[in-house]
Amino acid sequence: MDQAGIIRDLLTWLEGHLDHPLSLDNVAAKAGYSKWHLQRMFKDVTGEAIGAYIRARRLSKSAVALRLTARPILDIALQYRFDSQQTFTRAFKKQFLMTPALYRRSADWNAHGIRPPLRLDSFTLPTHKFVTLPPLQLIGLTQSYSCSLEQISDFRHEMRIQFWRSFLENCPTVPPELYGLHEPRPSLERDDEQEVLYTTALAPELAEDCLPGSHTVKLEGGDYVQFDYEGPASGLQAFILMVYGTCMPTLKLTRRKGQDIERFFPGEETRRPEPPRYLRCEYLVPVVR
C-alpha cells in the first residue's frame, strides 16, 4: 500500500475543503479507511496529527481573510467551522499570539503563525535575497478590480494577459525591463471582497510610445525580499501564492505596507501580438528588517 500517495491525495483534497465539515468520520470516509487507521497513517507519513493540521490550516486561511477582506470576524470564524467567535478567538490567539481583531488592525503583516500546506513531494524553498531599493519614478497605467479571495489568482493572471496584449500592440520595440505593481486592500463596497490596484509601468524614457494615457508612478524605496521566477507565464500566480503561503512564514518575515513588485525581463522571443508564454521575473515583497 502506497501510504505516501494516499496521504498526498488526501492533503490536496483537504486544502480545497477547509471551509467544509471535516470531522474525522468525514475525512476517513473520503480516504476509505477507518478513522483510527487514517490517524495512524497520517501521523506516520507526515509526523503530525490530522486534526491539529486541519485546524492550523483553517486558522491560516482565516488569517488571510482577516488581512485582505473586511468580513466580520464571526463570519470568518463560521466559514472555517468554528462554532463561535469566542472559540475562534482562543484558537487564533494560541496560534498567532494575538487576537483576530489586533491581527487585522496591525500596520504590518507578520507571517508568524501561518501554517504552510504540507508537501510530500521533494520541495526546495526558492532562493531569496534581501535588497534595498531607492525611490524610483516610473510611467504606468493603473487598473483596479474587486474580487473574492478565491478569484484573485484568475483575475491577476487575466490582467497580465490584457496588459501584455495592449502593450505589445503599442510598443514599437520590446523593452529590456518592465514592472507590475500591486497592493490589495479590503473592498469599500463589499466586505467579502478585496480591491486590487495593478499598475503596469516602464522607465520614463521607454514609456512615451508604449503606454498612451499613462501617469507618473512613484515606486517606494526600502527593504524588500526578492524571489526569482523563470518558467511558464501560467505558473507565475501559483509561484506568488507559494511565496506568501510557504516562503514568508518559513522565513519568519513581516510584510510592511507597500506595493509588491513584479520586475519582468522580456526575452528576444517576445513577439506581438500574443503575450509571452515564458517569463523571467523578479518578485519583490516589501518587508521589515
Q: How far apart are CA 209 and CA 203, in angstroms?
A: 12
216-225 burial code (b ≥16 CB/10 A, e <16): ebebbebbbb
235 lies in the same domain as 172:
yes
Do 135 and 101 sit in the same domain of this protein?
no
- Residues 100, 138 share a domain: no
Do residues 277 and 141 share a domain?
A: yes
H helix runs in the chain, sequence order: 3-15, 24-31, 35-46, 50-68, 73-79, 85-96, 100-105, 152-170, 204-207, 236-242, 248-250
Same domain, 48 and 141: no
Domain count, the chain: 2
pLDDT, tens digit, 9 for 90 and up, residues 36-90: 999 999 999 999 999 999 999 999 999 999 998 889 999 999 999 999 999 999 9
> Quick one: 132 and 252 in the same domain?
yes
Residue 216: name the closest of 229, 230, 199, 232 by CA.
199
Residue 120 falls inside a structural domain: no
Domain range for residue 61? 3-105
CATH number at residue 171: 3.20.80.10
Q: Are residues 134 and 200 in the same domain?
A: yes
Percent of the residues in the chain that have a pLDDT greater than 90, as a whole number: 54
118 domain residue, yes or no: no
- 178-226 residue pLDDT tens: 898 987 778 777 887 888 888 888 888 776 666 666 788 888 899 999 9
- Same structural domain for residues 171 and 266? yes
Radius of gyration of the chain, Cα coordinates, nearest whole angstrom? 21
